[in-house]
Amino acid sequence: MIKNRVTRWLEGRISALDLPLSVCLPNRQRIGPESAKVNITLRSPRAFLALSNPTLGKLAKAYVEQEFDLHGNLRDSVEVCARLTDADAAVGRKKTHHAWKWWRHTKTADRRAISSHYDVSNDFFALWLDRLRVYSCAYFKSPDDSLDKAQEQKLDLICRKLNLQAGERFLDIGCGWGGLILWAAQRYRAKATGITLSRNQHEYAEQKIRELGLQDSCRVMLCDYRELDEREPYDKIASVGMFEHVGRRNLPVYFGKIYRLLRAGGLVMNHGITHNLPNAGVPGSEVGKFIEEYIFPGGELMHVSVVMEAMANQKLECRDVENLRQHYAKTLWRWVERLEAKQEEARKIAGEKIFRTWQIYMAGSAYAFERGWVSIYQLLAGRPLADGSLAYPLTREFVYRS
């Protein structure tokens, strides 16, 4: 029987790896030491299927579907599950990206995917995001920086790298709840425009613009980047945590559109997650499968070299590259801690399944960044003038000035 086979396998695996893990079966039989740091309580016979040939993706799904409960520190739980499934070996195997499916990144499909991810509830996200509701990697100048401070530092870092000036037309593709466009309008006096496909985000950002009296310098539109009018180009463009949804085959469309939206001599910042294996398209150990089903339908990751090549093919010259992997691991753990601190409210707002989905997704993502399975890069590029020139300060000193 599968139960007996799984039980024997668990006993052998826990013993051989000396895992600080105990598993309580539905018949109350316990496998592993009672004093273990991590405890799993099986709630459904279906949990045996997830454990019969376990991957991180299968375990995450079983947890979200409440087939088992986790007890113990979440950092320890993710680490133990990764060791149990030998996730490092699975992630280390090169895999080609998903076979292209043209319907995955139509405007309708992308709008549906973004809505499923972000339109859970503004109140739910407010529980664990910073006060500006920035849902992307923060920037820590010190390990002790608060999340609020680190996110403000990230917004300022983007504006400084873009050398954003007063009066410049600035576009944020995938603007979320509007944190960056509000920062650019208030702190840099730019003429800021943001776009999003999420109705909840759009309504919230519009409300904040009105509350702050920024209607003359700030606006947000509910539209797809492919629909933007190219007749009035922008001086500076940012895309933060958005291009992961574009799709590998759509990179020429995406960067080609940015090129046409950017005035000659203008700059663009592309800030996004990448895979650390050149020929991989999704995280291994079936993590990608879990993310596809529960988090980002149609999301695709690629190596930074692929992104840089795609930018170059659309005549965007890369001028600066920075890896923020450590920063995103720290950001994600901060989000997890804040979500767990408000877990009762989160469950009331969104339900048990949504709470578990975001809890395990963010904890697993933090682990992936820590292990170096994935990275996040800020790529600064520009559209050169007709003579090939592209004005930019000679050094980075202006970015880090006090």
Task: Say whether both 76 and 117 belong to one domain.
Answer: no
Residue 304 has a pLDDT of 96
Task: Say whether both 111 and 79 belong to one domain.
Answer: no
Could you give the number of structural domains in the chain? 2
Residue 49 has a pLDDT of 86
Asked if the model's pLDDT at residue 96 lies above 50, the reply is no
Asked if the model's pLDDT at residue 216 lies above 60, the reply is yes
Please report whether residue 240 resides in a domain: yes
Residue 100 has a pLDDT of 47
Burial profile 284-320: b = 16 or more Cβ within 10 angstroms, e = fewer: bbbbbbbbbebbbbbbbbbbbebbbebbeebebebee
Task: Say whether both 52 and 134 belong to one domain.
Answer: no
pLDDT digits 0-9 by tens, 201-212: 999 999 999 999
CATH number at residue 310: 3.40.50.150
Task: Name the residue range of residue 66's domain.
Answer: 2-85
Residue 103 has a pLDDT of 47
Q: Would you state the structure tokens that stand for residue 71, as one six-digit string?
A: 């007890």
pLDDT digits 0-9 by tens, 69-86: 999 999 999 999 999 998
Please report whether residue 265 resides in a domain: yes
Task: Say whether both 21 and 106 belong to one domain.
Answer: no
Task: Say whether both 174 and 308 belong to one domain.
Answer: yes
What is the spatial distance between Cα 142 and Cα 101, in angstroms, rounded to a whole number? Answer: 43
Please report whether residue 396 resides in a domain: no
Task: Say whether both 300 and 184 belong to one domain.
Answer: yes
Asked if the model's pLDDT at residue 107 lies above 80, the reply is no
End position of a domain, from candidates 85, 115, 144: 85
pLDDT digits 0-9 by tens, 290-305: 988 888 787 889 999 9
Task: Say whether both 183 and 124 belong to one domain.
Answer: yes
Mean pLDDT computed over every residue of the chain: 91
Q: What is the mean pLDDT of residues 6-27?
A: 92
What is the spatial distance between Cα 96 and Cα 127, in angstroms, rounded to a whole number? Answer: 37
Cβ atoms of 391 and 383 closer than 8 Å:
no
pLDDT band at 61 (very low <50, low <70, confident <90, very high): very high
End position of a domain, from candidates 20, 53, 85: 85
Q: Phi and psi of 299, rounded to 5°? A: -70, 140
> In this structure, how many other beta carbons lie within 10 angstroms of the beta carbon of residue 254?
23
